[in-house]
Amino acid sequence: MQKTEAHFFNGLTAGRHEVHVALSDDRQAMIITGDTLPEPLRWSLMDLRALHDTSHKDRLTLTRHADTGDEAPRDPARLVLHDPELIAWMHRTRPGLFRTDLHKGTWRKVFLYSGGALVAAGLMLFVILPAMANTLALIIPVEREIAFGKVVVSQMERVLGRTEKKSLSCENLAGRAALTTMLTRLTENQEMEYQISAQVFDHGMVNAFAAPGGQVVILRGLLDNAQGPDEVAGVLAHEIGHVESRDATRHALRTAGSAGLLSMLIGDFTGGTAIALVGEHLMTAAYTRDAEAAADLFALDMLQAANVDAAGFARFFDEMDGLKGIEIPAYLSTHPVTAERAEQARGFAQSQSGTRPILNDAEWQALRNICR
Protein backbone atom coordinates (compact mmCIF):
# COMPACT_ATOMS: atom_id res chain seq x y z
CA MET A 1 0.00 0.00 0.00
CA GLN A 2 1.49 3.26 -1.20
CA LYS A 3 1.18 6.48 0.68
CA THR A 4 -1.91 8.11 -0.78
CA GLU A 5 -4.14 11.13 -0.38
CA ALA A 6 -7.50 11.07 1.35
CA HIS A 7 -10.03 13.29 3.11
CA PHE A 8 -10.46 13.04 6.84
CA PHE A 9 -13.29 14.29 9.05
CA ASN A 10 -12.52 14.04 12.73
CA GLY A 11 -16.13 13.80 13.91
CA LEU A 12 -15.67 16.90 16.06
CA THR A 13 -15.91 19.74 13.55
CA ALA A 14 -17.16 20.01 9.99
CA GLY A 15 -13.76 21.05 8.63
CA ARG A 16 -12.19 18.83 5.99
CA HIS A 17 -8.62 17.64 6.52
CA GLU A 18 -6.40 16.80 3.57
CA VAL A 19 -4.44 13.78 4.79
CA HIS A 20 -2.11 11.02 3.66
CA VAL A 21 -2.68 7.41 4.59
CA ALA A 22 -0.09 4.65 4.67
CA LEU A 23 0.25 1.19 6.12
CA SER A 24 2.04 1.01 9.45
CA ASP A 25 5.41 -0.78 9.68
CA ASP A 26 3.86 -3.77 11.46
CA ARG A 27 1.17 -3.91 8.70
CA GLN A 28 -1.55 -4.02 11.37
CA ALA A 29 -2.85 -0.47 11.04
CA MET A 30 -3.41 2.52 8.80
CA ILE A 31 -1.45 5.65 9.66
CA ILE A 32 -3.19 8.94 8.89
CA THR A 33 -1.01 12.04 8.69
CA GLY A 34 -1.85 15.60 7.75
CA ASP A 35 -0.72 19.17 8.28
CA THR A 36 -3.98 20.05 10.03
CA LEU A 37 -3.92 17.01 12.34
CA PRO A 38 -2.25 17.63 15.73
CA GLU A 39 -0.61 14.18 15.56
CA PRO A 40 -0.68 11.15 13.25
CA LEU A 41 -3.60 8.79 13.80
CA ARG A 42 -3.34 5.03 13.91
CA TRP A 43 -6.45 3.10 12.77
CA SER A 44 -6.14 -0.63 13.32
CA LEU A 45 -7.02 -2.61 10.19
CA MET A 46 -9.05 -5.00 12.33
CA ASP A 47 -11.43 -2.23 13.35
CA LEU A 48 -11.90 -0.73 9.90
CA ARG A 49 -15.46 -0.64 8.55
CA ALA A 50 -16.84 0.95 5.38
CA LEU A 51 -20.24 2.48 4.68
CA HIS A 52 -22.42 0.09 2.69
CA ASP A 53 -25.35 0.51 0.29
CA THR A 54 -23.87 3.77 -0.97
CA SER A 55 -24.05 4.94 -4.58
CA HIS A 56 -20.32 5.64 -4.59
CA LYS A 57 -18.15 4.25 -7.34
CA ASP A 58 -15.16 6.54 -6.96
CA ARG A 59 -14.80 6.65 -3.21
CA LEU A 60 -14.86 4.49 -0.12
CA THR A 61 -15.82 5.98 3.24
CA LEU A 62 -14.13 4.31 6.20
CA THR A 63 -14.94 4.45 9.87
CA ARG A 64 -13.98 2.35 12.85
CA HIS A 65 -15.76 -0.20 14.96
CA ALA A 66 -15.88 1.45 18.40
CA ASP A 67 -18.17 1.16 21.39
CA THR A 68 -19.81 4.60 21.21
CA GLY A 69 -23.23 5.83 22.22
CA ASP A 70 -24.20 6.14 18.55
CA GLU A 71 -27.01 4.24 16.83
CA ALA A 72 -24.36 1.78 15.63
CA PRO A 73 -21.04 1.04 17.40
CA ARG A 74 -18.99 3.34 15.18
CA ASP A 75 -16.39 6.05 15.62
CA PRO A 76 -17.93 9.35 14.40
CA ALA A 77 -14.73 10.13 12.45
CA ARG A 78 -14.71 9.41 8.69
CA LEU A 79 -11.88 8.76 6.25
CA VAL A 80 -12.79 9.08 2.57
CA LEU A 81 -10.53 7.27 0.12
CA HIS A 82 -10.51 8.30 -3.56
CA ASP A 83 -7.58 6.25 -4.84
CA PRO A 84 -8.97 3.34 -6.93
CA GLU A 85 -5.97 1.12 -6.16
CA LEU A 86 -6.29 1.60 -2.44
CA ILE A 87 -10.06 1.01 -2.61
CA ALA A 88 -9.47 -2.22 -4.54
CA TRP A 89 -6.82 -3.26 -2.03
CA MET A 90 -9.25 -2.65 0.85
CA HIS A 91 -11.95 -4.74 -0.84
CA ARG A 92 -9.44 -7.52 -1.51
CA THR A 93 -7.77 -7.78 1.87
CA ARG A 94 -10.52 -6.83 4.34
CA PRO A 95 -13.43 -9.28 4.02
CA GLY A 96 -15.13 -7.89 7.12
CA LEU A 97 -15.12 -4.35 5.78
CA PHE A 98 -18.87 -4.06 5.22
CA ARG A 99 -19.85 -6.01 8.31
CA THR A 100 -22.76 -4.75 10.42
CA ASP A 101 -21.97 -4.58 14.13
CA LEU A 102 -24.55 -4.37 16.85
CA HIS A 103 -24.40 -2.91 20.31
CA LYS A 104 -24.14 -5.50 23.03
CA GLY A 105 -27.54 -6.80 24.14
CA THR A 106 -29.33 -5.80 20.93
CA TRP A 107 -30.73 -9.27 20.26
CA ARG A 108 -31.93 -9.58 23.83
CA LYS A 109 -33.72 -6.28 23.33
CA VAL A 110 -35.27 -7.46 20.06
CA PHE A 111 -36.62 -10.63 21.68
CA LEU A 112 -37.85 -8.74 24.72
CA TYR A 113 -39.62 -6.07 22.69
CA SER A 114 -41.07 -8.56 20.21
CA GLY A 115 -42.37 -10.68 23.07
CA GLY A 116 -43.82 -7.62 24.76
CA ALA A 117 -45.51 -6.44 21.58
CA LEU A 118 -46.93 -9.91 20.89
CA VAL A 119 -48.25 -10.23 24.43
CA ALA A 120 -49.78 -6.76 24.31
CA ALA A 121 -51.41 -7.34 20.93
CA GLY A 122 -52.62 -10.79 22.00
CA LEU A 123 -54.05 -9.42 25.23
CA MET A 124 -55.86 -6.73 23.31
CA LEU A 125 -57.22 -8.99 20.58
CA PHE A 126 -58.21 -11.95 22.69
CA VAL A 127 -58.90 -10.62 26.17
CA ILE A 128 -59.46 -6.89 26.50
CA LEU A 129 -61.37 -6.13 23.29
CA PRO A 130 -63.70 -9.16 23.60
CA ALA A 131 -64.39 -8.30 27.24
CA MET A 132 -65.07 -4.69 26.32
CA ALA A 133 -67.29 -5.76 23.43
CA ASN A 134 -69.27 -8.01 25.78
CA THR A 135 -69.77 -5.22 28.30
CA LEU A 136 -70.68 -2.61 25.74
CA ALA A 137 -73.05 -4.98 23.94
CA LEU A 138 -74.89 -5.48 27.23
CA ILE A 139 -75.28 -1.80 28.09
CA ILE A 140 -76.25 -0.44 24.71
CA PRO A 141 -79.88 0.81 24.71
CA VAL A 142 -82.16 -1.58 22.84
CA GLU A 143 -83.66 1.12 20.61
CA ARG A 144 -80.13 2.07 19.41
CA GLU A 145 -79.42 -1.54 18.70
CA ILE A 146 -82.63 -1.77 16.68
CA ALA A 147 -81.68 1.33 14.68
CA PHE A 148 -78.22 -0.12 14.06
CA GLY A 149 -79.80 -3.42 13.02
CA LYS A 150 -81.94 -1.66 10.45
CA VAL A 151 -78.84 -0.08 8.93
CA VAL A 152 -77.13 -3.47 8.83
CA VAL A 153 -80.14 -5.16 7.20
CA SER A 154 -80.44 -2.44 4.57
CA GLN A 155 -76.70 -2.73 3.82
CA MET A 156 -77.08 -6.49 3.54
CA GLU A 157 -79.99 -5.98 1.16
CA ARG A 158 -77.80 -3.79 -1.03
CA VAL A 159 -75.02 -6.38 -1.03
CA LEU A 160 -77.52 -9.06 -2.07
CA GLY A 161 -78.67 -6.98 -5.01
CA ARG A 162 -81.42 -4.58 -4.04
CA THR A 163 -82.16 -2.01 -6.73
CA GLU A 164 -83.70 1.44 -6.38
CA LYS A 165 -87.03 0.17 -7.70
CA LYS A 166 -87.38 -3.18 -6.07
CA SER A 167 -86.92 -4.13 -2.44
CA LEU A 168 -85.75 -7.69 -1.79
CA SER A 169 -88.17 -8.15 1.09
CA CYS A 170 -90.94 -10.64 0.24
CA GLU A 171 -94.40 -9.30 1.02
CA ASN A 172 -96.89 -12.09 0.12
CA LEU A 173 -99.57 -11.76 2.82
CA ALA A 174 -100.30 -15.46 3.34
CA GLY A 175 -96.58 -16.17 3.44
CA ARG A 176 -95.98 -13.46 6.02
CA ALA A 177 -98.83 -14.81 8.10
CA ALA A 178 -97.24 -18.28 8.02
CA LEU A 179 -93.90 -16.80 9.07
CA THR A 180 -95.60 -14.99 11.95
CA THR A 181 -97.29 -18.24 13.00
CA MET A 182 -93.93 -19.98 13.05
CA LEU A 183 -92.32 -17.14 15.01
CA THR A 184 -95.17 -17.06 17.54
CA ARG A 185 -95.03 -20.79 18.09
CA LEU A 186 -91.31 -20.57 18.80
CA THR A 187 -91.35 -17.52 21.05
CA GLU A 188 -94.60 -17.91 23.00
CA ASN A 189 -94.06 -18.88 26.63
CA GLN A 190 -90.42 -17.80 26.29
CA GLU A 191 -88.94 -14.85 28.11
CA MET A 192 -87.61 -12.81 25.22
CA GLU A 193 -85.46 -9.74 25.59
CA TYR A 194 -86.05 -8.67 22.03
CA GLN A 195 -89.07 -8.22 19.84
CA ILE A 196 -88.10 -10.53 16.98
CA SER A 197 -89.06 -9.43 13.50
CA ALA A 198 -88.41 -11.96 10.74
CA GLN A 199 -88.50 -11.41 7.00
CA VAL A 200 -87.55 -13.23 3.83
CA PHE A 201 -85.28 -11.77 1.14
CA ASP A 202 -85.77 -12.83 -2.45
CA HIS A 203 -82.32 -14.33 -3.04
CA GLY A 204 -81.31 -17.81 -4.11
CA MET A 205 -78.60 -18.36 -1.50
CA VAL A 206 -79.26 -20.96 1.22
CA ASN A 207 -78.63 -18.87 4.29
CA ALA A 208 -80.09 -16.78 7.09
CA PHE A 209 -78.65 -14.11 9.35
CA ALA A 210 -79.44 -12.19 12.50
CA ALA A 211 -78.82 -8.45 12.66
CA PRO A 212 -78.60 -6.52 15.96
CA GLY A 213 -81.82 -5.64 17.72
CA GLY A 214 -84.01 -8.57 16.77
CA GLN A 215 -83.95 -8.50 12.97
CA VAL A 216 -83.79 -11.98 11.45
CA VAL A 217 -83.53 -12.41 7.70
CA ILE A 218 -84.08 -15.72 5.87
CA LEU A 219 -83.01 -15.96 2.24
CA ARG A 220 -85.47 -17.54 -0.22
CA GLY A 221 -82.96 -20.22 -1.19
CA LEU A 222 -83.26 -21.70 2.26
CA LEU A 223 -87.05 -22.04 1.89
CA ASP A 224 -86.68 -23.54 -1.60
CA ASN A 225 -84.17 -26.02 -0.36
CA ALA A 226 -85.96 -27.05 2.85
CA GLN A 227 -87.99 -30.29 2.87
CA GLY A 228 -90.32 -29.11 5.61
CA PRO A 229 -91.22 -26.25 7.92
CA ASP A 230 -89.39 -27.84 10.90
CA GLU A 231 -86.14 -27.28 9.09
CA VAL A 232 -86.85 -23.57 8.71
CA ALA A 233 -87.99 -23.41 12.32
CA GLY A 234 -84.65 -24.86 13.45
CA VAL A 235 -82.72 -22.21 11.55
CA LEU A 236 -85.02 -19.47 12.78
CA ALA A 237 -84.56 -20.60 16.39
CA HIS A 238 -80.81 -20.63 15.86
CA GLU A 239 -80.87 -17.04 14.57
CA ILE A 240 -83.09 -15.99 17.48
CA GLY A 241 -80.38 -17.46 19.69
CA HIS A 242 -77.87 -15.08 18.09
CA VAL A 243 -80.25 -12.16 18.64
CA GLU A 244 -80.85 -12.97 22.28
CA SER A 245 -77.14 -13.29 23.07
CA ARG A 246 -76.45 -10.08 21.10
CA ASP A 247 -73.84 -11.79 18.97
CA ALA A 248 -74.13 -9.42 16.01
CA THR A 249 -73.70 -6.30 18.14
CA ARG A 250 -70.81 -7.84 20.01
CA HIS A 251 -69.22 -8.90 16.77
CA ALA A 252 -69.54 -5.43 15.26
CA LEU A 253 -68.00 -3.80 18.35
CA ARG A 254 -65.18 -6.29 18.40
CA THR A 255 -64.43 -5.82 14.73
CA ALA A 256 -64.35 -2.05 15.18
CA GLY A 257 -61.65 -2.48 17.81
CA SER A 258 -59.55 -5.17 16.20
CA ALA A 259 -59.65 -4.23 12.51
CA GLY A 260 -57.52 -1.10 12.82
CA LEU A 261 -55.18 -2.87 15.20
CA LEU A 262 -54.58 -5.82 12.90
CA SER A 263 -53.85 -3.73 9.83
CA MET A 264 -51.45 -1.67 11.93
CA LEU A 265 -49.60 -4.78 13.13
CA ILE A 266 -49.14 -6.11 9.62
CA GLY A 267 -48.01 -2.72 8.41
CA ASP A 268 -47.66 -1.14 5.02
CA PHE A 269 -46.00 -3.66 2.81
CA THR A 270 -47.11 -5.26 -0.39
CA GLY A 271 -50.04 -7.55 0.16
CA GLY A 272 -50.30 -6.52 3.82
CA THR A 273 -53.97 -5.71 3.56
CA ALA A 274 -54.74 -9.16 2.23
CA ILE A 275 -52.95 -10.77 5.16
CA ALA A 276 -54.77 -8.48 7.60
CA LEU A 277 -58.07 -9.58 6.08
CA VAL A 278 -57.14 -13.24 6.42
CA GLY A 279 -56.14 -12.65 10.05
CA GLU A 280 -59.40 -10.89 10.73
CA HIS A 281 -61.35 -13.73 9.15
CA LEU A 282 -59.50 -16.36 11.14
CA MET A 283 -60.21 -14.49 14.37
CA THR A 284 -63.84 -14.11 13.43
CA ALA A 285 -64.09 -17.80 12.62
CA ALA A 286 -62.59 -18.81 15.95
CA TYR A 287 -64.92 -16.47 17.74
CA THR A 288 -68.05 -17.46 15.84
CA ARG A 289 -67.53 -21.17 16.52
CA ASP A 290 -68.34 -20.58 20.17
CA ALA A 291 -71.25 -18.31 19.34
CA GLU A 292 -72.58 -20.87 16.84
CA ALA A 293 -72.44 -23.68 19.37
CA ALA A 294 -74.28 -21.54 21.91
CA ALA A 295 -76.93 -20.58 19.36
CA ASP A 296 -77.36 -24.27 18.44
CA LEU A 297 -78.05 -25.16 22.06
CA PHE A 298 -80.44 -22.25 22.36
CA ALA A 299 -82.25 -23.41 19.23
CA LEU A 300 -82.61 -26.98 20.52
CA ASP A 301 -84.08 -25.73 23.80
CA MET A 302 -86.44 -23.45 21.92
CA LEU A 303 -87.58 -26.28 19.63
CA GLN A 304 -88.13 -28.49 22.66
CA ALA A 305 -90.22 -25.85 24.42
CA ALA A 306 -92.30 -25.37 21.28
CA ASN A 307 -92.65 -29.13 20.72
CA VAL A 308 -91.00 -28.97 17.30
CA ASP A 309 -89.05 -31.93 16.00
CA ALA A 310 -85.32 -31.17 15.98
CA ALA A 311 -84.79 -33.75 13.22
CA GLY A 312 -85.58 -30.97 10.76
CA PHE A 313 -82.74 -28.90 12.18
CA ALA A 314 -80.43 -31.90 11.78
CA ARG A 315 -81.60 -32.35 8.19
CA PHE A 316 -80.75 -28.71 7.48
CA PHE A 317 -77.13 -29.37 8.45
CA ASP A 318 -77.05 -32.50 6.29
CA GLU A 319 -78.31 -30.56 3.31
CA MET A 320 -75.86 -27.73 3.90
CA ASP A 321 -73.10 -30.32 3.97
CA GLY A 322 -74.19 -31.47 0.52
CA LEU A 323 -74.23 -27.90 -0.75
CA LYS A 324 -70.77 -27.10 0.53
CA GLY A 325 -68.47 -25.62 -2.06
CA ILE A 326 -71.29 -23.85 -3.81
CA GLU A 327 -71.78 -20.12 -3.60
CA ILE A 328 -71.40 -19.16 0.04
CA PRO A 329 -69.30 -15.98 0.02
CA ALA A 330 -66.85 -15.74 2.90
CA TYR A 331 -68.54 -12.71 4.43
CA LEU A 332 -71.77 -14.65 4.81
CA SER A 333 -70.35 -17.99 5.77
CA THR A 334 -70.88 -17.55 9.48
CA HIS A 335 -72.45 -20.97 9.71
CA PRO A 336 -69.68 -23.53 9.47
CA VAL A 337 -71.39 -26.78 8.61
CA THR A 338 -70.08 -29.72 10.50
CA ALA A 339 -71.29 -33.26 10.84
CA GLU A 340 -71.08 -32.88 14.63
CA ARG A 341 -73.71 -30.20 14.61
CA ALA A 342 -76.06 -32.44 12.63
CA GLU A 343 -75.33 -35.32 15.01
CA GLN A 344 -76.04 -33.18 18.04
CA ALA A 345 -79.44 -32.14 16.65
CA ARG A 346 -80.28 -35.73 15.64
CA GLY A 347 -79.37 -37.04 19.06
CA PHE A 348 -81.53 -34.37 20.63
CA ALA A 349 -84.45 -35.23 18.30
CA GLN A 350 -84.37 -38.87 19.45
CA SER A 351 -84.97 -37.79 23.04
CA GLN A 352 -87.97 -35.70 22.00
CA SER A 353 -91.57 -36.94 22.19
CA GLY A 354 -94.98 -35.42 21.51
CA THR A 355 -93.75 -33.12 18.80
CA ARG A 356 -96.10 -31.67 16.22
CA PRO A 357 -95.41 -29.88 12.91
CA ILE A 358 -94.87 -26.15 13.27
CA LEU A 359 -96.97 -25.31 10.20
CA ASN A 360 -99.72 -27.21 8.41
CA ASP A 361 -99.31 -28.03 4.73
CA ALA A 362 -101.25 -25.01 3.52
CA GLU A 363 -99.22 -22.67 5.70
CA TRP A 364 -95.96 -24.29 4.55
CA GLN A 365 -96.92 -23.83 0.92
CA ALA A 366 -97.80 -20.19 1.64
CA LEU A 367 -94.41 -19.64 3.27
CA ARG A 368 -92.60 -21.23 0.32
CA ASN A 369 -94.48 -18.90 -2.00
CA ILE A 370 -93.82 -15.78 0.07
CA CYS A 371 -91.74 -14.26 -2.72
CA ARG A 372 -94.18 -14.93 -5.52
Partner 1 sequence: MSTTQDSMDIRYTGEKGPLFNLAFKTGLLTVVTLGIYRFWQKTRIRKYIWSSVDAGGDTFEYTGTGIEKLLGFLIAVVFLAIYIGIIQMVLFYAGLSVMVDPQRASPQEMIAQTIALYITFFAVLPFILYAVYRARRYKMARTRWRGIRFGMEKGAWGFVWRAMGYGFLAVITLGILTPLQTFRLEKYQADRSYYGSARFTQTGKWTELYPAMKHMLIGIGILVLSFALIGGGAVSENVGLIGFGGFAAFVGYVWVIIGGIHYGVQSFAYLTANKVLGDDIHFTAAPRTGFVIKTYIVGGLLVGLLASVAFGIVGTIAAAFIPLLQNGGGMIAFGIVMAVGYVVALVLTQALSLILITQPILAHYIEKLEIVNADGLNRIAQREAETGVDAEGFADALDIGGAI
Interactions with partner 1, residue window 88-117 (CB under 8 A) = 100, 102, 106, 109-110, 113-114, 116-117
Minimum distance, C-beta of residue 293 to partner 1, in the bound complex (Å): 25
334 belongs to the binding site for partner 1 (CB under 8 A)? no
Beta-strand pair 215-219/197-201: parallel
Looking at the Cβ atoms of 156 and 206, the one nearer to partner 1 is: 156
258 belongs to the binding site for partner 1 (CB under 8 A)? yes
Minimum distance, C-beta of residue 5 to partner 1, in the bound complex (Å): 11
Q: What phi and psi, each to the nearest 5 degrees, are found at residue 75?
A: -65, 135
Minimum distance, C-beta of residue 324 to partner 1, in the bound complex (Å): 15
Minimum distance, C-beta of residue 41 to partner 1, in the bound complex (Å): 14
Amino acid at 98: F
Q: Which stretch binds partner 1 (CB under 8 A): 69-77, 222-230, 283-291, 298-306?
A: 69-77
Minimum distance, C-beta of residue 123 to partner 1, in the bound complex (Å): 9
Task: Candidates 38, 105, 267, 325: give the one binding partner 1 (CB under 8 A).
Answer: 267
CB 222 within 8 A of CB 235: yes
Query: Per CB under 8 A, which of residues 116..135 are in contact with partner 1?
Result: 116-117, 120-121, 124-125, 128-129, 132-133
194 belongs to the binding site for partner 1 (CB under 8 A)? no
261 belongs to the binding site for partner 1 (CB under 8 A)? yes
Q: Print burial letters for 328-364: b (CB count within 10 Å at least 16), e (below 16).
A: beeebebbebeeebbebbbebbeeeeebebbbeeebb
Question: Given strand 60-64, what is the order of strands in its sheet?
Answer: 41-44, 29-33, 17-23, 4-9, 78-81, 60-64, 48-50
43's CB contacts (< 8 A; 6+ apart) are 29, 30, 32, 62, 64, 79
Local structure of 185: helix, strand or coil: helix
313 belongs to the binding site for partner 1 (CB under 8 A)? no
